[in-house]
Structure 1
Amino acid sequence: MPSAALRVIRPLIRIGSFIAPRTAGRAAFRLFCTPPRQPGSDTRSGKAIQGARSRLAPAQRQAVPYACGSVSTYLFEPEAGLQDVAQEGLRDEAGPAPTVILLHGWNSEAAFMTAFVAPLLAAGFRVVAYDMPAHGASTGAELNIPLGVASLAAVARVFAPVHAIVTHSFGGAIALAALAGSVPGEPRIKARRLALISAPSSIATITRNFGATIGLGRRGQAALEKRIHSVAGNPVEVFEGREQLAGIGLPTLVIHDRQDRELDFHHAEALAAAGPFVTLEATGGLGHRRILQAKSVVESVTRFVVG
């Protein structure tokens, strides 16, 4: 959030947290779940987004409905001669090639995951990227873990069988919750492998850091976490990455940059402590977002997905 907006909102949140904590908590939850507006197409960032979206041009586009709207999906199919490459035992002969789902992070979109498409297609996989709720071309104004899990479950159902999920940032938290079955009422999705790039390990920590940033007091923070519990069907502590990952037990690759300024490297170390089935790879100097375009990262993820 821009510092100018924080200077305006912090005093209001602080006062509201004291005199009307429930109202302040609900307002904080809505703010927490609302991604910022996309920059205009005439700005530098807007031009970068348009350039990234052009890489989705070869994909087959489909709107996949879920309970709260629809998400825009982008399907890349391998060439007929490649569908059996490295796929023996992974699919029925009459069925489609196994799918790799690419799941972007907060305030991003499917277009920024496209560096992984070509090598995964060359390995014989179908690749599906999609815009999460309130992002890219998908519907909605908010994104939270229940909405993300519901949309991922819908995409996984349409493009089954799912071999692997490759995630970035907040997408990792959503994939963990979906695989662990942490949102009541949503089916637990299935995959064989999971790659977590720059993923958070603790939603509770992120929530409390957010509260501190906007000036939410103790009572307001409690109301915010109560609202999360009400919406998600579980307290925020249930969505701790290490515990969810330990329960899932899938072969998992964790890649994180030591200079990540948005999510400190300790998040990766916590995830890696989930069990011996987790492989941790550290990078240096790539930060939180450029890591998605690094050749070494794309190669590591592809090797891991192929197995």
Structure 2
Amino acid sequence: MPRIHPAVRAAFRVTGRVAPPLALAASYRAFRTIGAPAPVRTADRAVHERARRGELRVAGERVVTYAWGDPAGDPVLLVHGWRSRASRFARLVETLERSGRHVLAYDAVAHGDSTGRYTTILDHLAIIRRIADDAGPLAGIVGHSFGALAAGTAVTEGVDAATYTAVAAAPSFDALNDGFVRAIDLPATLHDRHARRVAARLFPDEPDPAARFDLFRHPVAAPALFVHGSRDREIPPASSRALHAAHPGSRLVEPDAGHNGVLDAPETLGAVLGHVTAGAVNSA
């Protein structure tokens, strides 16, 4: 999770002890808050601006989609993380594009150039299915952070992808909740109540979101690559090591990088390209 200001942590810590209902209401609002869309980095602008753009309507919102490279090439879908955007994959887009792939991505609801104020993993899943249905079988799906959980869940639930790559993966709904309440310093006695509130309000029709959105309980059947920066302070590298152990035959790469910087690391780019290429050979 992003770093939280010490004053905010102190407020949650104190309020959680003296007024638990107020603390839980505030923690839920904070959990849902996305904030202003992340800007396109200067280093990514050229790739962002030359993309072929499209639009989808999901959950009543306008979702902006992007495509690069040869439309006849093997499609690879990139799924960005929380408070991020498709352009953050710019170095990977260039790498896959040079290899002849048809690179696809999108700005999730309430992210980037798409509309909306809030989003859930259900919106991601709807978008992924729509793009995959249009593109046909994917040569690969690559997710970063929260996007890795969404991408992995999509594959376990039927999206056809020859390979799966998780970069700095959030491994489960429970892990997301746990990381958040620890980041804001909500008292441990309120952790389960916070998780139940999030589940009930964000997924009212889902009997057990913690069970559904969990890459340990539902390992991805496609050949898997896990990449995690050794200096990641938002999601511990141990998460990807555990996912690697839970996915027999998978590969683990740990570049010397942080949570977002890992997307630009040469070791990441080479590993992802090699994984997608090997998947194409194996499925031929």
TM-score, normalised via structure 1 length? 0.79
* Residues paired across the two proteins, number: 271
* Contact 1:64 1:155 survives alignment (8 Å): no
**Given residue 227 of structure 1, which amino acid in structure 2 is its aligned partner?**
R
- 1:268-287 aligned at under 5 Å gives the runs 268-284=240-256, 286-287=257-258
> Could you tell me how far 1:280 is from its partner in structure 2?
1.0
State whether structure 2 residue 243 is matched by structure 1 residue 244.
no
Structure-2 separation of matches of 1:219 and 1:281: 36
Q: In the alignment, which of 51, 73, 76 is matched to residue 100 of structure 1?
A: 76
* Contact 1:65 1:154 survives alignment (8 Å): no
State whether structure 2 residue 283 is matched by structure 1 residue 291.
no
**Given residue 102 of structure 2, which amino acid in structure 1 is its aligned partner?**
R
Match of 2:281 in 1: none
State whether structure 2 residue 148 is matched by structure 1 residue 154.
no
Q: Which runs of 5+ in 1 are unaligned?
A: 40-45, 84-95, 182-187
**Given residue 56 of structure 1, which amino acid in structure 2 is its aligned partner?**
H
State whether structure 2 residue 116 is matched by structure 1 residue 140.
yes
Structure-2 separation of matches of 1:280 and 1:129: 24
Match of 1:35 in 2: 34
State whether structure 2 residue 227 is matched by structure 1 residue 255.
yes
**Given residue 128 of structure 2, which amino acid in structure 1 is its aligned partner?**
L
* Contact 2:156 2:221 survives alignment (8 Å): no
* Contact 1:201 1:270 survives alignment (8 Å): no
Match of 1:120 in 2: 96
Q: In the alignment, which of 226, 248, 259 is matched to residue 196 of structure 2?
A: 226
What is the identity percentage for the equivalent residue pairs of Structure 1 and Structure 2?
Answer: 27
> Could you tell me how far 1:255 is from its partner in structure 2?
1.0
Q: Which moved more, 1:157-166 or 1:98-107?
A: 157-166
* Distance change in 2, residues 1:154/1:28 (3 Å): farther
**Given residue 168 of structure 1, which amino acid in structure 2 is its aligned partner?**
H
**Given residue 239 of structure 1, which amino acid in structure 2 is its aligned partner?**
F
> Could you tell me how far 1:36 is from its partner in structure 2?
3.3
* Contact 1:70 1:139 survives alignment (8 Å): yes
* Distance change in 2, residues 1:148/1:3 (3 Å): farther
Q: Helix, strand or coil for the counterpart of 1:162?
A: coil
* Distance change in 2, residues 1:98/1:7 (3 Å): same
* Distance change in 2, residues 1:217/1:8 (3 Å): closer
- 1:10-49 aligned at under 5 Å gives the runs 10-17=13-20, 20=21, 25=24, 27-38=26-37, 49=41
Q: In the alignment, which of 1, 5, 9 is matched to residue 8 of structure 2?
A: 5
Q: Helix, strand or coil for the counterpart of 1:201?
A: coil
Give the number of the structure whose alpha-carbon radius of gyration is greater: 1
Structure-2 separation of matches of 1:124 and 1:218: 50
> Could you tell me how far 1:145 is from its partner in structure 2?
1.9
Structure-2 separation of matches of 1:117 and 1:213: 32
Structure-2 separation of matches of 1:239 and 1:112: 24
**Given residue 186 of structure 2, which amino acid in structure 1 is its aligned partner?**
L
Structure-2 separation of matches of 1:244 and 1:138: 30
- Alignment root-mean-square deviation, CA: 2.4
State whether structure 2 residue 40 is matched by structure 1 residue 64.
no
* Contact 2:69 2:102 survives alignment (8 Å): yes
**Given residue 295 of structure 1, which amino acid in structure 2 is its aligned partner?**
P
Q: Which runs of 5+ in 2 are unaligned?
A: 279-284
Structure-1 separation of matches of 2:196 and 2:117: 21
Q: Helix, strand or coil for the counterpart of 2:109?
A: coil
Match of 2:276 in 1: 305
* Distance change in 2, residues 1:152/1:16 (3 Å): farther
* Distance change in 2, residues 1:281/1:215 (3 Å): closer
Match of 1:184 in 2: none
